[in-house]
Amino acid sequence: MKKIMWSISFIMLIGTIIAIQFLPESVPMHYDAAGNVTRWGSKNENLIFPIMTLVVALVWTCCMAYYEKKALKSNDEKESAGARSNAKVIGYVGVGMALMYTVMQGFILLGEYKGAISGATKEVVDIGKISVIMMGGLYIWLGNIMPKTRMNTTVGVKISWSMYNDTTWKKSNRFGGVAFVIAGVLTIITAFIMKSSFGSLMLSIGYICVASIVTFAYAYKVYKAEVK
C-alpha cells in the first residue's frame, strides 16, 4: 500500500508538471459560490496541491512506520498482529486519499484549461460537485476499512466507549462502517441530483455528522452492555 500511495502521489505531481506546460500563463484560480471567476493566477500555483498531497503521504507513511515498528518490537502476538493490521489499514486510507486528490487535480486542470482558452467568467467544470462526489467515494472507502481495523488511535471510531475493549471496538467500527457507507452513497446521489455544489457539500457534511452521532450513540449502547 505504501508504494501504491507514493506512486499515485508522484503521478499526480508529474502529471501536473506536464499539464501546466500546455496551460496559458494566467488561468482562473478561484470561484465564488455561484461559480463566477473571482481570481486569475499563475498556472504554476497548480503545483501547490500535488506538493500538499506528498506531505499527506509522508504523514501516513510515518503512521504506518509507527505501527510496523510496534509490531516488530512487541512480544505479544495479539498486539503484534493488531499493529500490522493497523499499518495495512492506514495504507488503504492513504491510497484512497491519494486517488481522490489525483482525480480532483485532473478536473481542476481541465477546468482551468477550458476556462483560460475561452476567457470564461464562470467555471467551466463544476469542481465543487466533483469534490463532493469524491468525498462520497472516500466515505464509502473508509466505511469498508473501519471494520477491518484493530484498536488504535489513528483510524476508526476512536472514543472511550468504543475503546473499552475489543468487543466494543469491533461492534462500534462495524456499525460505523455501515453508517459511513450509507453517508457516502447519499452524498454521491445528492451531488448528482442537486444543482448547487455548495448545497451538496452542506448536505454531505450533514450526512457524515449524522453518521458519526448515530455511531457514537451505538458505541455507548455497546459499552454499557459490556460494563454490565
One-character DSSP codes across 61-107:
HHHHHHHHHHHHH---HHHHHHHHHHHHHHHHHHHHHHHHHHHHHHH
> In this structure, are residues 13 and 54 in contact, taking their beta carbons and an 8 Å threshold?
yes
d(CA 36, CA 28): 10
One domain, residues 103 and 130: no
Question: Do 214 and 154 fall into the same domain?
Answer: yes
**Is residue 50 within 8 Å of residue 16, measured between CB atoms?**
yes
Q: Which domain holds residue 1?
A: 1-125
**pLDDT of the chain along its 228 residues, tens only?**
788 999 999 999 999 999 999 999 888 888 877 778 888 889 999 999 999 999 999 999 998 888 888 888 877 777 787 778 888 888 888 998 899 899 999 999 998 888 888 887 778 788 888 889 998 998 998 899 888 888 877 778 888 899 889 899 999 999 999 999 999 999 999 999 988 888 888 999 999 999 999 999 999 999 999 987
Distance separating alpha carbons of residues 191 and 140, to the nearest angstrom = 15
- Domain end: 80, 96, 125, which one? 125
Give the CATH number, domain containing residue 107: 1.10.287
Same domain, 88 and 188: no
The predicted model scores a pTM of 0.78
Residue 205's H or E segment, with its range, is: helix 197-227
**Are 101 and 136 contained in the same domain?**
no
127, 104 Cβ separation under 8 angstroms: yes
Q: Which of 82, 104, 125 is the last residue of a domain?
A: 125
Is the domain of 53 the same as that of 130?
no
Q: Are residues 113 and 161 in the same domain?
A: no
Domain count, the chain: 2
Co-location of 192 and 228 in the same domain? yes
Domain ends where: 110, 125, 140?
125
